[in-house]
Structure 1
Amino acid sequence: MQPVISIPKDWDYPRFVPGQWTKQGLIIGMEYNPPGTLLAHEYGQGWRYAVLPDKNSQQVFYYFDEQIQQLSVAEVQALIQAEIEQHQQQLAALQQQLVVIIQDKRS
């Protein structure tokens, strides 16, 4: 079952979604600051995104729609390919550990 998020009709629709990679980093959260509210007065109105500059970062940065740049298709493909290669390396290392364990057990 897919999670469902309902956005009130009087809110603008967000341009980005959690889990999306952008030039600023990975979007890990978002909030909406409606016009006329204290949050909108303090931070600005509209969608505000929490972004990790990279997946190993401890710092979170906050951006509004107009401050975020989408990645090109080639950039997204390169990120995905790098993730696949990293996971394949981890898988190969785990398989090697398994071979060592099996050999030790036979000894």
Structure 2
Amino acid sequence: MQPTITIPHGWKYPRFSLRQRAEQGLIIGIKYYPSDSLLAHQYGEGWRYIIMPDINSIEEENRLENEIKLLTPQELRAEIQAEIEKCLRQLELLKYELKTIPGIFINS
């Protein structure tokens, strides 16, 4: 079952979604400041995105919709391929580690 999110009537739909990769990092959260709220009066109505610039960082950034630029298809492909290669190297290291345990035999 897919999780669903309901956008209240009168709110604009967000331009970006969770887990999208942008030049600024990975989108990990979305929040909305409705026009009649105190936050909207202070900062402006609309969607704010919480971005994790680096997967290994504890830092988060709040960005406006117009501050986010998605990766090009080529950049996205290169980033995902690099992540796959990193995972494959980790898998090989774990397999090697398993082989060093006495009494365990692994087929591969």
Same fold (TM over 0.5): yes
TM-score of the two chains, using structure 2 as the length reference? 0.91
For 2:67 and 2:36, the matched residues in 1 are separated by 21
Which sections of structure 2, spanning at least 5 residues, go unmatched?
Answer: none
1:2 maps to: 2
For 1:7 and 1:36, the matched residues in 2 are separated by 16
For 1:38 and 1:3, the matched residues in 2 are separated by 29
Q: Cα distance, 1:105 vs. partner?
A: 2.0
Matching of residue 86 in structure 1 with residue 86 in structure 2: yes
For 1:26 and 1:61, the matched residues in 2 are separated by 10
2:17 maps to: 17
> Normalized per residue, which structure has more helix?
1
Paired amino acid for 1:16: F
Paired amino acid for 2:59: Q
Q: Cα distance, 1:4 vs. partner?
A: 0.5
1:5-39 per-residue CA deviation (whole Å, 9 max, x = no partner) reads 01112111101111111011111101010112111
Question: 1:31-50 to 2 correspondence within 5 Å?
Answer: 31-50=31-50
Paired amino acid for 2:76: V
SS in 2 for 1:96: helix
Matching of residue 63 in structure 1 with residue 37 in structure 2: no
TM-score of the two chains, using structure 1 as the length reference? 0.92
For 1:42 and 1:52, the matched residues in 2 are separated by 24
Which sections of structure 1, spanning at least 5 residues, go unmatched?
Answer: none
Number of equivalenced pairs:
104
2:99 maps to: 99
CA RMSD of aligned residues (A): 1.1
Equivalent pairs: percent with the same residue? Answer: 47
Q: Which runs of 4+ in 1 moved over 4 A?
A: none
Q: Cα distance, 1:41 vs. partner?
A: 1.6
